């Protein structure tokens, strides 16, 4: 009998719904069992975060550093400018809309008889290093190795990348639905799930609209520079958008993105260089998603939405997303360390971010790859013949 395989996004959806529903009927002791698993798993994720940064960011920088010249500098400049600007754009819109969305959401009525669902016990798993140390180590080692001939050390780094990737695939991703179930169960039991889900249903629509607006802005710039109609350019890139929606993978969409970028007017040489590189470093859709959700979670938990702090968060996140391609939920996994170190997110807040990111994964990826065509056109114009 053929085994039915359910996609991760649907397992997350089922876990969220089941957790919310069961939170209203399960007794405290049962809820505390799941809270215990959630506590242990969240500490394991915290332990893994520095390893993920070192294991994935370092080899990614090595690969980017193997290329050289004006074309590389231009591509990195425009890709990171677009990514960081998209994050600031997302922060500006979301920070203004969130208060209105939350004020229209009904506050939960807390039952004084309901007790907090605390874990039965906890297991300490201190990380080998903090997030900032991991980032500095990854960039220092990656940059040095990219310009050296230490092939043996490079091989060790790439082997460690495989170990970390397999660790994510085998020890984190399979348990994510259960982890999300535990978080949803705890919030539902304590009366917080309804208002949070109501707010995030609105946030998802807002994020989708922002990704479309950002793509339009990118193609208006690319169209003006190249004297082309931006709407026609977007229509030509539409097959890449649809392909990314179906695959949720920038890498799998590269052949389609390459073809459509050339149809928009990018030369074959420019497209062949910029599109695969941008699949690793140009993440405006992902940054918009993570930033918007982070603002929403901060506001709902009573935190201070400070622009300077969020700009620092956006810049650091833009640098860490080079670790994302090829890893399930790569962007949000790379973001966990920055969420914790810069914004001070708790394990529960990080769990909410994981669930929301995966639920919106497809159209964030679609925005990323569609924007790569605009970067190819812009780079081609500035690079000249």
**Would you state the structure tokens that stand for residue 312, as one six-digit string?**
């620092």
Residue 323 vs residue 20, higher pLDDT: 20
CA distance linking residue 193 with residue 175, whole number of Å: 21
Provide the pLDDT for residue 20. Answer: 85
Question: Nearest-CA neighbor of 278 among 366, 351, 346, 372?
Answer: 372
CA distance linking residue 318 with residue 281, whole number of Å: 8
Q: Which helix (H) or strand (E) holds 116?
A: none
Residues 97-107, mean pLDDT to the nearest whole number: 63
Provide the pLDDT for residue 67. Answer: 56
Phi, psi (degrees; rounded to nearest 5) at 135: -65, -45
Establish if 2 belongs to a structural domain: no
**Would you state the structure tokens that stand for residue 377, as one six-digit string?**
């056109």
Establish if 1 belongs to a structural domain: no
Provide the pLDDT for residue 213. Answer: 94
Query: What is the pLDDT confidence band of residue 8, given thresholds at 50, 70 and 90?
Result: confident
As a whole number, the mean pLDDT across the chain is: 82
Mind listing the pLDDT tens digit for each residue in 123-174? 888 888 887 788 788 888 888 887 787 888 888 988 998 998 888 888 888 8
Mind listing the pLDDT tens digit for each residue in 25-82? 888 889 899 999 988 988 888 888 888 878 877 887 777 655 556 777 888 889 999 9
The domain tally of the chain equals 1
3-state secondary structure of 258: helix
HSE, side-chain direction, 13 A CA sphere, residue 22: 18
Residues 375-379, mean pLDDT to the nearest whole number: 91
Domain extent, residue 263, equals 8-383
Provide the pLDDT for residue 106. Answer: 46
Establish if 277 belongs to a structural domain: yes
User: Would you say residue 107 has pLDDT above 50?
Assistant: no
Provide the pLDDT for residue 110. Answer: 41
Question: Nearest-CA neighbor of 49 among 354, 302, 253?
Answer: 354
User: Would you say residue 86 has pLDDT above 90?
Assistant: yes
CATH code assigned at 233: 1.10.3860
pTM value is 0.78
Residues 338-348, mean pLDDT to the nearest whole number: 83
CA distance linking residue 182 with residue 26, whole number of Å: 12
Question: Nearest-CA neighbor of 146 among 160, 135, 158, 134?
Answer: 158
**Measured in Å, how far apart are the chain's first and last C-alpha atoms?**
59
% of the chain with per-residue pLDDT over 90: 17
Quote the Cα angle for 226-227-229, to 5°: 110
Establish if 189 belongs to a structural domain: yes
Residues 106-110, mean pLDDT to the nearest whole number: 45
The residue with tokens 């959401």 is 105
User: Would you say residue 278 has pLDDT above 60?
Assistant: yes
Residue 273: count of CB within 10 angstroms of its CB: 22
Provide the pLDDT for residue 69. Answer: 64
Residue 361: count of CB within 10 angstroms of its CB: 24
Provide the pLDDT for residue 115. Answer: 56
User: Would you say residue 2 has pLDDT above 60?
Assistant: no
Provide the pLDDT for residue 365. Answer: 83
Mind listing the pLDDT tens digit for each residue in 312-334? 999 988 888 765 655 556 678 77
CA distance linking residue 157 with residue 152, whole number of Å: 9
CA distance linking residue 87 with residue 354, whole number of Å: 18
3-state secondary structure of 378: helix
The residue with tokens 């994302």 is 324
Establish if 342 belongs to a structural domain: yes
> Helix, strand, coil % (nearest 5) of the chain?
80, 0, 20
């Amino acid at each position: 009998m053929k085994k039915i395989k359910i996609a991760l996004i649907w397992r997350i959806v089922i876990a969220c719904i089941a957790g919310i529903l069961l939170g209203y009927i399960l007794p405290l002791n049962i809820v505390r069992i799941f809270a215990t698993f959630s506590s242990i798993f969240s500490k394991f994720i915290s332990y893994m975060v520095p390893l993920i940064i070192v294991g994935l960011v370092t080899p990614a920088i090595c690969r980017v550093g193997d290329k050289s010249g004006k074309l590389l500098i231009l591509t990195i400049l425009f890709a990171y400018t677009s990514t960081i600007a998209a994050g600031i754009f997302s922060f500006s819109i979301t920070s203004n809309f969130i208060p209105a969305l939350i004020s229209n959401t009904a506050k939960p009525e807390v039952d004084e008889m309901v007790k907090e669902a605390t874990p039965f016990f906890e297991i300490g798993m201190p990380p080998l290093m903090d997030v900032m140390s991991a980032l500095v180590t990854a960039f220092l080692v990656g940059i040095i190795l990219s310009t050296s001939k230490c092939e043996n050390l490079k091989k060790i780094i790439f082997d460690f990348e495989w170990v970390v990737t397999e660790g994510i695939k085998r020890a984190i991703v399979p348990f994510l639905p259960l982890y999300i179930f535990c978080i949803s169960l705890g919030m539902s039991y304590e009366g917080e799930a309804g208002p949070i889900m109501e707010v995030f249903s609105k946030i998802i629509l807002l994020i989708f609209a922002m990704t479309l607006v950002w793509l339009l802005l990118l193609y208006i710039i690319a169209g003006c520079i190249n004297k082309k109609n931006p709407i026609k350019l977007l229509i030509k890139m539409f097959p890449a958008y649809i392909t990314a929606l179906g695959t949720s993978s920038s890498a799998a969409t590269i052949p389609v993105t390459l073809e459509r970028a050339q149809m928009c007017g990018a030369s074959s040489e420019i497209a062949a260089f910029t599109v695969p590189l941008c699949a690793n470093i140009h993440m405006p859709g992902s940054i918009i998603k993570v930033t918007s959700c982070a603002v929403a979670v901060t506001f709902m938990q009573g935190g201070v939405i400070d622009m300077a702090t969020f700009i620092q968060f956006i810049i650091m996140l833009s640098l860490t997303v080079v670790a994302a391609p090829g890893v399930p939920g790569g962007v949000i996994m790379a973001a966990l360390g920055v969420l914790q170190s810069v914004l001070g997110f708790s394990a529960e807040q990080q769990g909410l971010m994981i669930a929301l990111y995966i639920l919106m994964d497809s159209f964030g990826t679609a925005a990323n790859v569609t924007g790569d065509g605009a970067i190819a056109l812009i780079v081609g114009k500035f690079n000249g013949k």
